[in-house]
Each structure stands twice: as structure tokens, then as C-alpha cells.
Amino acid sequence: MASTTLLCAFFLALLSCSRSERLEEPSTSDMQYTCNQIAAAISSASQVFFPPATEYLFDIEHYSYSNTEASACSVEPGSAADLSEILRVLGSSRTPFAVKGGGHGVNPGFSSTSGVEIAMSRFNETHVNSTCGTVEVGAGLTWDEVYATLGPTGVNLVGARAPGVGVAGSALGGGYSYLSNQYGLMVDNVIRYELVLPNGTVTNVTSNDDDLWFGLKGGLNNFGIVTKFIFQSHPQGGIWGGFRLHAENQLDAIKDALVKFQQKNDTKAAIDVVLSYSSGQLSIAVLFFYDEPTSSGVFDDFLAIPAIEANVSTTTFSDFIQLLGPLVAANGLRVLFEGAPVTQYSPAVFDAFANQTKLWGARLSALDKNATVSSTLEPFDNGFFSFGSGSAFPPDRSQAVFPSVVTVKWSNASLEEVMAFALRNISDTIRAAALADGQNVAHAAVYPNNALFGTPLEDMYGGNVERLRQIRAAIDPEDVMGLTGGWRF
């Protein structure tokens, strides 16, 4: 009975929650008209698709079922010039649209729409410029595709830690990598963007462009649509990495190993500790990365803990990332995230993550037996914010903040607000625990790519919000990007 009372308490709290990012929809016939207008405006490099074409189904597919919608049509632009025409048609007809890179954004409507889905998949080229030490990457690629292409070249980029994640969304939101301890965030490694502005003008954005350069480094889809990124590259040899899985009885041993690991300051080493609750059990996955073919001993405390299953070895960067695929698969479920930024995984903060994962895991499993709650603890080096400056995100680089992501996966469509409530409650509880632990996290920014829908801009962009609003007002006076979902300045 006690648990019934508790559930009622949080259902009541839900009445005050609502999603503000959803857009108004024009009529179906208006949208068909717009789709045909687009088809007439683009060159043969691009194409419009309608349901039930295979290409259409591919274009609207996303990682999370909660960010998947049937659009009126999809369009695959094949050139920046065509994308420019597409934006002009959408802007003048005021048609809602979505921009999909890797489709790994999870918030409803952030890269899905009932209007026109722009799938960036044809921007799929990777060009290494060894003279300059740069790599040009098309905005339709996923990081695993880029790693596979770069494998034989001996260079690599600061990119995402799991297969399927888009270059575009991750790099435009900030971008945490296994290489961030050595080279910073993805935004710190961009040399140039090719951008289609909201009014359709195609332009290059570099460090010479004060405002757009600042805005694109964390500001996602506020300033137009990026077609290409030119990144700084870094040498890449063989690596050592993989994962190990443990049962709940190793929780304390994992906590001790994690606490000690954070004192070691070895910038070639990276780990993620994932605590997951599903089907009545807590399990632990530890993901290891060392940027040399053999590890230095920095992980010895972890490796001494008995594992249920393990696959860690000397391998290539690309194969290592592929190996992690099954650990992060959405399996057709709905997925939502929330960030829980901390500056240290101290024993008290670790306990709070474990407690919340179990507590909410059990509560949510009672409502949907397919529910999983997981917390990803991701320590970085204390100096990892020092590789860049002047970016929309992170708004404050004066101390290292570990983003942390809490994830819920579930089946039942009616439970979306319950899941959102749980995520906010977990995140708030973690922040309170970190504050009680003496961490300076009262205003620690939530990573925009981890933040749950409804998060106030100030919580992600801090003191940058006003400048970002001004930049957007100047760049997008007609509010064309207001026709798509996502965080809006």
C-alpha cells in the first residue's frame, strides 16, 4: 500500500508537467503541397520520398521510438545548394520540419516531425587532408562510419563513444569522447563548419566569425543546418579496450575502484561505469579504453574484480566502438535521457546513483515490465575543459564537470510523463547529494545532448543564454529554425 501512495504522489506531480517544444501542425494537404514544391525546387542530386517507400522509412527511423514520427514526406538533400532551396520553401510556407543526422537524439520532436523530415544521409564523405592534419566529415555520417574509414589512415577524430551516434548532433551539442582527456570536446576540435543559414545562404564558419563560431559550438540547430565539419585530426595507433559485466554483489568493489581511478590522472585512460536496473536486478558494466595497445595498469583495481562476462583486448579503435553496440542498443523501446552533472564520483555520489537507479528501476518496472533505468558515470581528467574556450557549451570551463547520463527505456506510450518525472527526480536527487558532498554543482551545466525535454536554457547554457538569443535574433529574424524541434534560443 505504501508504494501505491508513493506512485499517486508522483502521478499528481505530473499534472504540472508539459512539453513546450511541440509545434503546431498545418493540414496534411498543405504539407503534401510543400513536399511537391520541394521536389520541384531541387536538383537530381536530391530526392523527396513518400510513405511507404523504403527510403522514407529509413529516413524517419530513429534510435528511440519516442523520437520517431511519421512525416508527410522525407527529403534527402544531396548538395548544400539544394538544402538551401529546401529551407527557403519550408520557411516561406511555414512548414514544420526536422533535421536528422544520426537520429540518436531521444527527445520527442527534436529530429522527428509530422511535417518534412530532412535526412542528411547523402552528406556522407570523409576526406583526410594530411598536409593540414584535418579531416572533412559530412553531416550525415555516424561516428562509427568515420572511425571505420579512418582506421587505415593512422589518424582519428574526437568523436562519440558508441556506434550509431551522429557526427552532427553530438558535435553541435558539445561532444564527449574517449579522447577528450587528451584533446578536449568535439567542439574544441572543429576548424570550420559549412553551414546553410536559415535564409538559405551557404557559408563557411571559422574562428574569424565571432558570433556564429561561438554559437555553433554547442548551440545545435539554432543557426541553420551544417552540411560539413572540418575537424583537427590526431594520430591513432592500436588501442586496448572493451567491457566487463558484474552482478550487484560487486557494487562496493566497483565504487572503490572508481574512486581510486579518479586520482590517477592518466589522460590516455577513460572509463564509463553503467549501473542498470531491469527485470528486478541491478547489473554493472564497466567500459575501458586505453590509448595504447597495452594498458598501463591504471585499471588494475577494476580488473581484479570478478566479472560475469568480459571482452577486453588489444584492438583497433573502430572495432572497440563496434563491440559496445549491444550494450547501448535501444531494442525498439522508447528512450529518454537526463543529465546529472557532478565534479567527482565520490563514495556518497556513487551511492546516490546506485540508490536512485534501484529505487526508480523497481518503481518503473512495476508499471512496465520492459522498463530499464541506467546511470552512466563518466569520469574525465581534471584538465579536459582546457582545450577550448568561447563556446555556447560548456558555459563555464573553470572546473571539470562530468556530464553523467541517466537513461530510461520502456514500452508503454502512456508512461512518457511518468518517465520524465522519474528522470527529473533522479537528477535533482543526485545534484542534492553532490552538493551535500561539498561539490560546486549548484549551477553545473547539464549537457544539452543529455537534457530531458523541458529543461530551461539557463540550466544548459548558463550565462551564455542572452548572447545566444541575440545571435539567433540576428541570424534568423524570420524564425525559420523555430519550425523545427530542439532547444531554441
Ligand X SMILES: *[C@@H]1O[C@H](CO)[C@@H](O)[C@H](O)[C@H]1NC(C)=O
Query: Which residue from 173, 144, 141 is spatially nearest to 156, judged by alpha carbons?
Result: 144
Nearer to ligand FAD, 268 or 363 (CB): 268
Can the peptide bond before residue 394 be classed as cis, meaning omega within 30 degrees of 0? yes
Task: For residue 156, report the phi and psi dihedrals to the nearest 5 degrees.
Answer: -145, 170
Q: Sketch the per residue contact string, 112 through 141, with ligand FAD: x for CB under 6 A, - otherwise.
A: --------x------------------x--
Q: Write the Ramachandran bin of 132: left for phi over 0, alpha for psi from -120 to 50, otherwise beta.
A: alpha
Nearer to ligand X, 323 or 420 (CB): 323
Q: Sketch the per residue contact string, 238 through 277, with ligand FAD: x for CB under 6 A, - otherwise.
A: ----------------------------------------
**Contacting ligand X (CB under 6 A), which of 93, 199, 267, 314?**
199
Question: CA 207, CA 215: separation in Å to the nearest integer?
Answer: 11
Neighbours of 420 (CB within 10 A): 21
Neighbours of 127 (CB within 10 A): 12
Nearer to ligand FAD, 223 or 353 (CB): 223
Q: Is 61 exposed, middle or buried (0-12, 13-18, 19+ CB in 10 A)?
A: middle
* Total of chain residues touching ligand FAD, rule CB under 6 A: 32
198 touches ligand FAD (CB under 6 A): no
Neighbours of 424 (CB within 10 A): 17
Q: Which stretch binds ligand X (CB under 6 A): 61-69, 155-163, 341-349, 352-360?
A: 352-360
**Contacting ligand FAD (CB under 6 A), which of 78, 91, 108, 175?**
175
95 touches ligand FAD (CB under 6 A): no
Query: Per CB under 6 A, which of residues 32..91 are in contact with ligand X?
Result: none
**Contacting ligand X (CB under 6 A), which of 16, 27, 208, 414?**
414
Q: Is 55 exposed, middle or buried (0-12, 13-18, 19+ CB in 10 A)?
A: middle
Strands (DSSP E) found in 197-280: 202-205, 225-232, 234-235, 239-247, 269-278
323 touches ligand X (CB under 6 A): yes
Helix axes 347-367, 416-436, angle to 10 degrees: 160
**Contacting ligand X (CB under 6 A), which of 265, 279, 386, 470?**
265
Pairing of strands 234-235, 155-156: antiparallel
17 touches ligand X (CB under 6 A): no
Residues that bind ligand X (CB under 6 A): 6, 9-10, 122, 124, 129, 131-132, 197, 199, 201-204, 263-265, 311, 319, 323, 355, 358-359, 367-370, 382, 411-412, 414-415, 425, 428-429, 432, 475
Residues that bind ligand FAD (CB under 6 A): 63, 99-105, 110-111, 120, 139, 160-162, 165-166, 168-170, 172-176, 220-221, 225-226, 328, 449, 486
